[in-house]
Amino acid sequence: MAVLLPFQPTPFFANKNRAFWNLQIAGWGGALLLRVVNALANSQTYDFLIIILIEAITGFSISLVLSVIYRQLISQKPFITWIATALVLAMAVGLYAFIDAWVIWLYRPDSNASFAQLVLGVFYLDMTLLGAWSALYYAINFFLQVEEQADRLERLQAQATGAQLAMLRYQLNPHFLFNTLNSISTLVLLKQTEPANAMLTRLSAFLRHTLVNEPGGRVTLHEEIETLKLYLDIERMRFEERLRTEFRIEPAAGKALLPSLLLQPLVENAIKYAVSPQEEGAQISVSARLVGQRLRITVADSGPGLQIAGTRPNLPPAITGGAGVVSSTGVGLANIRDRLAQAYGEDHVFETRTPAQGGFTVVIEIPYEVAEEEEKTILPKPQAAATVVTSGGAHPTLPADGPAQRELGLRA
């Protein structure tokens, strides 16, 4: 059984030279056919068709010369283009009318009309043909120029967006490296060489893993979680049992695509403000599930949250604004907001929540997309979340609602 290959239509103006000749032949062929039909309808003799053929060939040839001239004029200043076009077109119409009148005069030497009368008689028709041809030539070429400028602008915007995404992505590495190298330096000063060496080894593994992906690339949620676990292994060297983690990722949600290193700043933020200030530490939960055709990711911690003043001694005046008003100046949440805006525009949700019982929650919702090789026709029904507890007990159920502050940089 024959297999039909998928049909991919080619844009008409993909090959401009071929498109020009197709339009040229179709246009003048149509004009020739129209005049032939008109001549036969008016009971003209068949030998008169030779004159019509000569006139069509003459117009076809003159339009080729005009195309060469117009190609040079179209790139000039508008005033020069239109003045020069009018002069060239007037001369072309005059030449066309002269040739037509001369052919008719040779065909009918006994005609009572003078040669000048014959020229004036065909002038209006020749002016109509060449005038319409010139108008179409400029209209099509101006349209193609606008399309090229639009394509160029789109490419430049895509490059600018990619550059900004790369900048935001590269901003994460110095931020993370500063904190990690500072921890290693502390271990070295305390002469804890073995933990310092283990942290360096895990840091190299984490960086090697992150360098595989392009700065503006996307990875599956499963891959993002694996990278996140490498980062948590480094932080667990510092906090040990104080850092407890839990992952609840639906199987279907794990196939979703998202910008690489999107979740690491959120977890780092939770470690800084939930695990570090508390002697007993805190639990960090990462969950992901499908909501219709969208992916919802939740990162929550069981820290003090933002409810009680003075419970976060690590919050400097630069972040609280000196008056208890949180105004993020770090790269954490602000970076995530910017990356989501660059990648999805308005088609995303970024919320921060402070539940009444304490803790801090970040909710991200983006369109559900999978890799091209994955089947996207039917989304599987949500299944029970797969819970993986790395350490610590069960995490309390996250509240479905609560005081929500949408897209506010509440923490660094």
Rounded to two decimals, the pTM is 0.50
**CB-based contacts of 235, cutoff 8 Å, min separation 6:** 243, 268, 271
Name the maximum alpha-carbon separation found in the chain: 119
The label of the residue with tokens 């080894």 reads 201
Write down the pLDDT at residue 375: 43
Residue 410: closest CA among 319, 339, 326: 326
Fold classification of 192-406 is Heat Shock Protein 90 (3.30.565)
> Residue 383 and residue 46: Cα distance in Å, rounded?
82
Give the helix/strand (H/E) hosting 72: helix 48-73
| pLDDT tens series, the chain, 412 aa | 444 445 455 676 778 888 889 889 999 998 889 888 888 888 777 878 888 899 889 999 999 999 999 989 988 888 898 999 999 999 999 999 999 888 888 887 777 778 888 888 888 888 999 999 999 999 988 888 888 888 888 877 766 666 655 555 555 556 567 777 887 888 888 888 888 888 888 888 777 776 666 656 788 999 899 888 888 888 887 788 899 999 999 999 999 999 888 888 888 888 888 988 888 889 999 999 999 999 999 999 998 877 543 444 343 333 333 333 333 334 567 778 888 888 888 899 999 988 878 889 999 999 999 877 544 433 444 443 343 444 443 333 333 343 333 333 334 3
Determine the pLDDT at residue 333: 79
Domain ranges of the chain: 16-154, 192-406
Given a contact cutoff of 8 angstroms between Cβ atoms, the answer to whether 391 and 245 are in contact is: yes
In the chain, % helix, strand, coil (3-state, to 5) comes to 55, 10, 30
pLDDT at residue number 256: 93
